Chain A
Amino acid sequence: MEILKPATAGTLESSDAQITVEPAEGGIALELHSSVMNQYGRQIKATVLETLERLGVENARVTVVDKGALDCTLKARVECAVFRSCDKSQANIPWGGVIR
């Protein structure tokens, strides 16, 4: 998927993460802030990058502000932000397809 416009999903509440995607060129630029950076920074980064790859996002500037989100929450927030950036978040989501 191509990031068409800036979009955000998620909140700054505990156990959540706020993810922003913006159009960019030349690959994925990931900026990560986390309340559990020392313990889980690498894991969070891997989950976010895997999710972007699954969605076929090749170029984007991605900002993650993590407040101790589980992997399933990170995935949900990344997916929602990407679908919002393409105006496709409201209906006909491929549940069980690229969303898995």
Chain B
Amino acid sequence: MIPRPKPERFRLRRTMIFMSAQKPGLIKDAYIYGVDSIMLDLEDAVAENQKDAARFSLYHTLKTIDYGDTEVIVRINGLDTPHWQEDIRVCVAGGADGIRIAKCESADDVRTVEAAVEKAEEEFGVEKGRTLLMAALESPKGILNAYEICAASDRMFGVAISGGDFRKCMQTKPTADGIDMVVARGQMLIAARAAGVQCFDTVFTNLDDKEGFEAEVRQNKAMGFDGKSLINPKQIRYVHEVFAPTEKEIMQAEKIVRAYREQSAAGVGVFTVDGKMIDIAFIPGAERTLRLARACGMYEGDLV
């Protein structure tokens, strides 16, 4: 029995890879990939008549396999199915770090799941509040209600868009420049930032289209996403590369944080670094860059 450490609500989540909880061959050694989070799936990857078997498999996986620093999230079945309550019981009993709410459309959906999680924490003697939540927005209604969803619970760490279902609702197809989803992605990002949670992009399903995948990852980074959902381990490395800060950004961030600490100790609020105006508003971003750099193995200083 390997008890996982208490999950951190805010941590590095550049990559989150989906794998079926019903497939032992996939999930038994998923910690080797170096992915930030794995998403054990009880929902669409599991056939309707194997939902029960997937839960037994999930329980023993969570209890037996040491995933180390890799975060373990479980995607549960939708609230319109007969499965979600037992899904939540097994997640909490097994000690999953977090639960992904599929097809989330409102703050009420989040609160419904939260109530069931709390009940399960009580039933299985798990510390109250341990199990984190994230929501997948898969419909226009989910996107329109993104802010209330993001702000619905202290357990919420982030929100993700699910492209397949969303495009189906919008009657669109994936496009090379992402125009089909740009508004939804943008609205979700604004809502997530306003609520102070993380934001993740959808999967890129055409594994043969390397150029298309890489263009989408670069666009994700430019739009301000924290990370991306993935379907294949070969997609991990590129996302980590794109989401890593550059040497120049790290040096600049270090300079800014250092200068800020010196200047504010001397009573100065606004000053210049390399000819650019810096004040307190730049500090959280610079510190974030340093934390990201540390996680990517590119910064070993002591400022963060």
> A65-100 vs B: 1/0 string, CB under 8 Å?
000011111011101100110000111110110011
Interface check B295, CB cutoff 8 A: no
The answer to whether B28 and A15 have CB atoms under 8 Å apart is yes
Nearest chain A CB to B107 CB, angstrom units: 27
Number of A-B contacts (CB under 8 A): 71
State in angstroms the CA–CA spacing of A100 and B60 once bound together.
7
Which of A6-14, A23-31, A56-64 lies on the face that meets chain B?
A6-14
The answer to whether A95 and B94 have CB atoms under 8 Å apart is yes
The answer, among B25, B55, B63, B65, for a CB contact under 8 Å with A14, is B25
State in angstroms the CA–CA spacing of A95 and B86 once bound together.
10
Q: Which of A10, A72, A76, A95 has the most CB of B within 10 A?
A: A95
Interface check A16, CB cutoff 8 A: yes
The answer, among A16, A77, A91, A99, for a CB contact under 8 Å with B85, is A91
Nearest chain B CB to A11 CB, angstrom units: 8
> B25-38 vs A: 1/0 string, CB under 8 Å?
10010000000000
The answer to whether B52 and A83 have CB atoms under 8 Å apart is yes
Interface check B3, CB cutoff 8 A: no
The answer to whether B60 and A93 have CB atoms under 8 Å apart is no
Which residues of chain A come closer than 8 Å to B82, judged between CB atoms?
Answer: 90
State in angstroms the CA–CA spacing of A79 and B86 once bound together.
16
Interface extent on A, as a size class? 20 to 34
Known interface pairs A16-B24, A95-B124; A77-B86 also in contact (CB < 8 Å): no
Nearest chain A CB to B54 CB, angstrom units: 9
The answer to whether B60 and A92 have CB atoms under 8 Å apart is no
Which residues of chain B come closer than 8 Å to A95, judged between CB atoms?
Answer: 59, 89-90, 93-94, 124
The answer, among B28, B53, B90, for a CB contact under 8 Å with A77, is B53
Number of interface residues of B (CB under 8 A): 24
The answer, among B25, B65, B93, for a CB contact under 8 Å with A72, is B65
The answer to whether A89 and B52 have CB atoms under 8 Å apart is yes
State in angstroms the CA–CA spacing of A31 and B86 once bound together.
32
State in angstroms the CA–CA spacing of A16 and B60 once bound together.
13
The answer, among B57, B85, B86, B124, for a CB contact under 8 Å with A76, is B57
The answer to whether B52 and A80 have CB atoms under 8 Å apart is yes
| Nearest A residue to B25, CB-CB | A15
Which residues of chain B come closer than 8 Å to A91, judged between CB atoms?
Answer: 85-86
State in angstroms the CA–CA spacing of A89 and B93 once bound together.
16
The answer to whether A76 and B52 have CB atoms under 8 Å apart is no
Known interface pairs A91-B86, A93-B86, A95-B59; A73-B28 also in contact (CB < 8 Å): yes
The answer to whether A70 and B24 have CB atoms under 8 Å apart is yes
State in angstroms the CA–CA spacing of A89 and B55 once bound together.
9
Which residues of chain A come closer than 8 Å to B272, judged between CB atoms?
Answer: none
Which residues of chain B come closer than 8 Å to A100, judged between CB atoms?
Answer: 63
Which residues of chain A come closer than 8 Å to B63, judged between CB atoms?
Answer: 72, 100
Interchain residue pairs with CB less than 8 A apart (29): A9-B53, A10-B53, A13-B24, A15-B28, A16-B23, A16-B24, A70-B24, A70-B64, A71-B64, A72-B61, A73-B24, A73-B28, A73-B60, A75-B60, A76-B56, A76-B57, A80-B52, A89-B52, A89-B56, A90-B82, A90-B86, A91-B85, A93-B56, A95-B90, A95-B94, A95-B124, A96-B93, A96-B124, A100-B63
